[in-house]
Amino acid sequence: MNGGITIKRYQPEQAEEWKKFLAESNNGTLFHDLDFLSYHEAGKFDTHHLMFQQNENLVALLPAAIVTEPDGRRFLKSPYGASVGGIVISLRSRLHTALSILDALKSYAKKIGLNGIEMRISPNIYLIQPNDLVSFGLTLSSFKLINRWLTFIAPLSLPIDKLLSKEKRYDVRSNLKKGLNPREVGIDGLDLFYDLLTETMSRHRSTPTHQRNELMDIFKKVPGRIRLFLCAHEGEEVAGVLVFILNKSAAYTFYICESYEFRKMCGPAVLIAHIIDKLAQEGIKYLDLGPSASITDVNKGVVFFKEGLGANGFCRDLWRWETGI
């Protein structure tokens, strides 16, 4: 039973309605924001955003795209080109509503001839009022948990001296005394940051997820939600962090980078400690330092670094349901 839920495909004239619901939702994030997602080149994804109504009231959103897998099967996937996605529900949603939404979504996927649905959902700590309503609903709705990542999140309610390990407190204090200068720079520091980022990624034989012009575009599309921080020593940039403000409760360090030449100065730790202080003063409750473990791999060195900054592990889960078509 779908509880009288109807699904309509999003149209551009509904942009303000989408934004209003997202801003007032319990679990919506920057990654559900269509302005943010619009930085992707037109035509790169077959977007298929959905709006769910019950008794003519909007009760849920799903930013999504139809993705054709190598075997030719077509799935509705959320997120696409973002870290997390999934159903966005209101602060007042109850279990029966969540189950009705998921039931209607499964019927919709069958109706349009898809082979299934896939959602990667955030840790519940991102929520304004944390709960496991969506993940429990997915379980009851026959979705299968097919992958899981451990992302490391620091609670900003603790004073920085209590949050950091003894070793990290020493690293931060001693290097601040040596003259490290952590600060927020904004879009004007993007070129300096991107040079650090490409240097860091090249050491790991990788490339940034975003091009320089894409980051510039994101800054402009969602002003105030993308924050850039740099840490300098005697005029040389030693570390950089790009922060996404996900919602009123949580922020996310999308990139953490440092200069190999100055690696002994613990620039990332100094800079993250500065960011924690600043965001805590602004009322943000949690800072997600990103995933460093999955069910198939654990990056022990990075996990140790993040745990030293007071972060604990929370799950980011990938759920999948197949229509049987």
Same domain for 266 and 174? yes
pLDDT band at 146 (very low <50, low <70, confident <90, very high): very high
Return the closest-CA partner of residue 172 out of 271, 239, 304, 270.
270
Nearest CA to 34 out of 49, 23, 24, 13 is that of 49
Position 300 in a domain: no
Domain count, the chain: 2
Report d(CA 94, CA 89) in Å as an integer. Answer: 9
Q: Is position 303 within any domain? A: no
Q: Are residues 241 and 161 in the same domain?
A: yes
**One domain, residues 83 and 132:** yes
- Mean pLDDT, all residues of the chain: 94
Q: What is the pLDDT of residues 42-66, one digit of tens each?
A: 778 999 999 999 998 999 999 999 9
- The verdict on 129 and 194 lying in the same domain is no
Residue 222: CATH number of its domain: 3.40.630.30
CA angle (50 as vertex; 77, 324 as ends), nearest 5: 50
Nearest-angstrom CA–CA distance, 180 and 234: 8
User: What number of other Cβ atoms are within 10 A of residue 231's Cβ?
Assistant: 28
User: Would you state the pLDDT for residue 298?
Assistant: 96
Q: Is residue 166 part of a domain?
A: yes
- Count of CA atoms in the C-beta half-sphere (13 A) of 45: 21
Amino acid letter for position 124: N
The answer to whether the CB of 265 falls within 8 A of the CB of 175 is yes
For 21-39, the pLDDT digits (tens) are 999 999 999 999 999 999 8
pLDDT confidence of residue 136: 96
Residue 232: the pLDDT is: 96
Q: Is residue 304 part of a domain?
A: no
Residues 172 and 273 in one domain: yes
Per-residue model confidence as pLDDT tens digits over 168-196: 999 999 999 999 999 999 899 999 999 99
Q: Convert the pLDDT of each residue in 257-308 to its tens digit.
A: 999 899 899 999 999 999 999 999 999 999 999 999 999 999 999 999 999 9
The pair phi, psi for residue 208, each rounded to 5°, is: -60, 150
C-alpha dist (Å) from residue 133 to 25, 89, 136, 188, 297: 13, 10, 5, 41, 28
CA 325 to chain centre: 32
**Which 3-state string (H, E, C) describes the chain?**
CCCCEEEEECCHHHHHHHHHHHHHECCCCHHHCHHHHCCCCCCCCEECCEEEEECCEEEEEECCEEEECCCCCEEEEECCCCCCCCCEEECCCCHHHHHHHHHHHHHHHHHCCCCEEEEEECCHHHCCCCCCHHHHHHHHCCCEEEEEEEEEEEECCCCHHHHCCHHHHHHHHHHHHCCCEEEECHHHHHHHHHHHHHHHHHHCCCCCCCCHHHHHHHHHHCCCCEEEEEEEECCEEEEEEEEEECCCCEEEEEEEEECCCCHHHCHHHHHHHHHHHHHHHCCCCEEEEEEEEECCCECHHHHHHHHHCCCEEEEEEEEEEECCC
Q: Which of 148, 249, 257 is nearest to 209 (CA)?
A: 257
* Residues 162 and 127 grouped into a single domain: no
* Residue 298 domain flag: no
Q: Are residues 21 and 135 in the same domain?
A: yes
**For residue 83, pLDDT beyond 90:** yes
Residues 109 and 162 in one domain: no
Among 1-5, 43-47, 199-203, 315-319, which stretch is predicted with the lowest mean pLDDT?
Answer: 1-5
Predicted local confidence at residue 142, as pLDDT: 96
1: pLDDT strictly greater than 60? no
Statement to judge: residues 120 and 183 lie in one domain: no
What pLDDT score does 2 carry? Answer: 66
306 part of a folded domain: no
Average pLDDT over residues 215-240: 95
pLDDT, position 82: 87
Whether residues 267 and 228 share a domain: the answer is yes
User: 312: pLDDT confidence band, cut at 50, 70 and 90?
Assistant: very high
- The larger pLDDT score, comparing residue 44 to residue 138, is at 138
Domain that holds residue 82: 5-149+316-322
For residues 165 and 207, membership in a common domain is answered with: yes
Q: Tens of pLDDT along 147-169?
A: 999 999 999 999 999 999 999 99
Per-residue pLDDT at 40: 82
pTM of the full structure: 0.94
The share of the chain scoring above pLDDT 90, in percent, equals: 90
Establish if 246 belongs to a structural domain. Answer: yes
Place of tokens 């959905």: 50
Quote the pLDDT of residue 207: 86
295 is a domain residue: no
Give CA–CA dist 271/273, Å, rounded. 5
Together in a domain, 191 and 125? no
